Amino acid sequence: MQTEQDRKRFATLTLGALGVVYGDIGTSPLYSIKEVFGGAHHPVPITPENVLGILSLFFWTLIIVVTVKYVSFIMRANNKGEGGIIALMTLALQKGQAGTWEQRLLIMLGLFGAALFYGDGVITPAISVLSAVEGLEVITPAFSPYVQPIALSVLIGLFLIQRRGTASVGALFGPVMIVWFAVIALAGAGAILANPDVLAAVNPIYALDFLSGNASLGFFALGAVVLCITGAEALYADMGHFGAKPIQYAWLGYVMPALLVNYFGQGALLLADPTAIENPFYLLAPVWARYPMVILATIATVIASQAVISGAFSITQQAIQLGYTPRLEIQHTSDKEIGQIYLPAMNWLLLIAIIGLVLEFKTSSNLAAAYGIAVTGTMLITNILAIAVAVRLWHWSPWRALLGALPFICIDLGFFLANSVKIPDGGWFPLVFGLVIFILLTTWKRGRELLGRRLADDAMALKPFVNNIVSGGVDRVPGTAVFMTPNPDDVPHAMLHSLKHYKALHSQVVVLSVKVFDVPYVPEVDRVEVHHLPGQFSQVIVQYGFKDEPDIPAALAMCEEHGLLLDMMDTSFFLGRETLIPKLGSEMAYWRELLFIAMFRNAGSATAFFKIPSNRVVELGSQVVL
């Protein structure tokens, strides 16, 4: 039985989901119908049959793809409550044998899906804000020269405030989106009341008749219809923040009805006045309400953009923890919410790419050509990863899993192919952007593996080394030394260099290794693992999940429960710092070696990443030939 407190918490989470999860898909009415009937790429003629056919496609796409696939099925594939393409990939990799072609394929698919997410993260703010500000042109054409500068100003302002955090602004997200969905539903309802015949489009026969009667045009139209489900991945990606139930209730009880009423209202308006295709969303509103509508739409698109930006920060943090990207500076913008983070490098990279997009494509209609390919590509990859989860973790037979996913694969493949014809007109951008990110992710992972192998070739086993130190005549000086190493069973290179230069070791030596597991969080009780060795030597393994925040001093403080006492004021941290040298004929292509070395040199400091006091750190360098 739910208590009053449980109900309040559920209502708060549902309100938060409205503000964060549904910003992207909630602002799709700004451009979706307009792009189908008035876009630059294969516009559909405005006839009663075509309008009803397209509305039927919109209706059933939202029902099948969002409600059935994501809300009812994909949300079941969660990694201890966490969703998103990275979480799904790590889930699919569980109970698989490392190094097999299946594992490598799943990793490649997951990483490319994540790379496409970044492409989506660049396009969403650009197309959303542009489409909102373009409402000014509906009020008067005199605003046309100012649309682009205003949109750029809004976007630049959005990225400038990221470093301040979104906690204070985020409290307004939910209420604003409640107003937004109510307003667009009211606007659509008025047009439906004037032309209720449009409701016949609920019948799927209209969609099937449109597709069968307009073979090529129907195929091309799918490339614009898919715009109504941009942001569907956010339902899954943000599950860890709000939980499945609040997201599902918000969709079924409020968001989906509001979207459908608005889409049907735009269709009713076009049946009554085909010239309204100039901007059917804004022309639904009475003349007096258009200025407020532009302001509300701009705020809603900023919220939609914020959700995507926060998602890019979150997925980057996960990739860093899992070893797919170099360490980047991560700033925590809230003392209460661990998920609220700011990555300066990612922030400015996104802003530069978005400014370039707006200047290059100029209008939301032009950007629509670039939009669908990233969304549909990610959706296709999600299907494949979900099949792997169903077979490996839910113990479905491969045939059952494939047949269950087949309808979704066919639909997503149809959308993807329809968008692929727009590659020359702008669809190339998310593919190129995603490919660049994919190359960076895989190069870093491969380079780290190669570097680890080179270091392991020269490594000594720790336990025999410790026994020699204990029985030998090495001087021991007061204090504690913590040597960080990726392999706790080998002697850290920094320790060998320290012994070579100082001819002594500290009286207490800790060999510390950090391990990141393919779960979101590791319980505090399992955070540290301590193994005591002779001669005041200890092995410490610190364990994190891919969403945990590394904090080595805090982890070392927990070692006291395991009999290892450390005085932080009397402890020095020794870190290795390698200088990499490329080599022709290595196991990695020479150009990728050079790329990896450049990324390695520009990686963030381990000291800051692990929250180690900088005045307690000693770095010892060595050269490594790749």
pLDDT in tens, 373-404: 888 888 899 999 999 989 888 889 999 999 98
Give the mean pLDDT of 228-239: 81
- Tell me what pLDDT residue 591 has: 92
* Whole-prediction pTM: 0.84
pLDDT value of position 335: 54
451 pLDDT band, cuts 50/70/90, is confident
pLDDT in tens, 519-574: 888 998 899 999 999 989 999 999 998 888 899 999 999 998 888 888 888 899 99
Task: Report pLDDT for 528.
Answer: 93
CA dist 371 and 388 (Å) reads 27
pLDDT-derived band at 165, boundaries 50, 70, 90: low
Domain locations in the chain as residue ranges: 21-323+346-426, 454-625
pLDDT at position 321, please?
Answer: 83
Tokens 């493949």 — which residue? 413
Judged by average pLDDT, the poorest of 239-248, 355-364, 562-571 is 239-248
Q: How far apart are CA 581 and CA 174, in angstroms?
A: 52
Give the least confident one: 270-284, 470-484, 532-546: 470-484
Determine the pLDDT at residue 158: 86
Report yes or no: 23 and 300 within 8 Å, Cβ to Cβ.
yes
On whether the CB atoms of residues 526 and 543 are closer than 8 A, the answer is yes
Q: Which CATH class name applies to 21-323+346-426?
A: mainly alpha
Using a 10 angstrom Cβ sphere, with 0-12 exposed, 13-18 middle and 19 or more buried, the burial of residue 42 is middle
Among 232-241, 251-260, 487-496, the range with the most confident prediction by mean pLDDT is: 251-260
Confidence of residue 234 (pLDDT cuts 50, 70, 90): confident
For CA atoms 126, 132, 136, 138, the dihedral sign is positive
Q: How far is CA 298 from CA 166, 172, 258, 361, in A?
A: 17, 14, 18, 19
For residue 329, what is the DSSP state? -
> Closest Cα to residue 197, out of 52, 87, 404?
52
pLDDT at 475: 85
**β-sheet bridge partners, residue 530:** 540
Share of the chain above pLDDT 90, in %: 34
pLDDT band at 171 (very low <50, low <70, confident <90, very high): low
Question: Who contacts 76 (Cβ-Cβ below 8 Å, separation ≥6)?
Answer: none
Can you give the pLDDT at residue 508?
A: 92
Low-confidence winner among 9-23, 174-188, 272-286, 386-400 (lowest mean pLDDT)? 9-23
**Max CA-CA distance within the chain?**
95
Q: 192-196, 296-300, 515-519: which has the minimum mean pLDDT?
A: 515-519
Q: Which tops the pLDDT comparison, 576 or 436?
A: 436
CA 260 distance to own-chain centroid = 27
* pLDDT per residue as tens digits for the range 84-139: 788 888 888 887 676 788 888 888 998 998 888 888 888 888 888 998 888 888 88
* First-to-last C-alpha distance (Å) of the chain: 61
Length of the chain: 626
The string of pLDDT tens digits covering residues 58-89 is: 999 999 999 999 988 888 887 777 777 888 88
Is residue 169's pLDDT more than 60?
A: no
574-602 b/e with 16+ CB inside 10 Å = b? bbbeeebebeeeeebeeebbebbbebbee
d(CA 97, CA 123): 37
Higher pLDDT, 267 or 78: 267
Angstrom distance (rounded) from CA 104 to CA 112 = 12
User: How far is residue 292 from each of residues 136, 180, 329, 404, measured CA to CA in Å?
Assistant: 11, 11, 39, 46
For tokens 């799918």, the residue is 222
Q: How far is CA 134 from CA 130, 151, 363, in A?
A: 6, 9, 8
Please, is 475 exposed, middle or buried when counting C-beta atoms within 10 Å of its C-beta (0-12, 13-18, 19+)? exposed
Residue type, 564: L
User: pLDDT by residue (tens digit) across 415-444?
Assistant: 999 988 888 888 888 889 889 999 999 999
Q: What is the CA radius of gyration of the chain?
A: 27
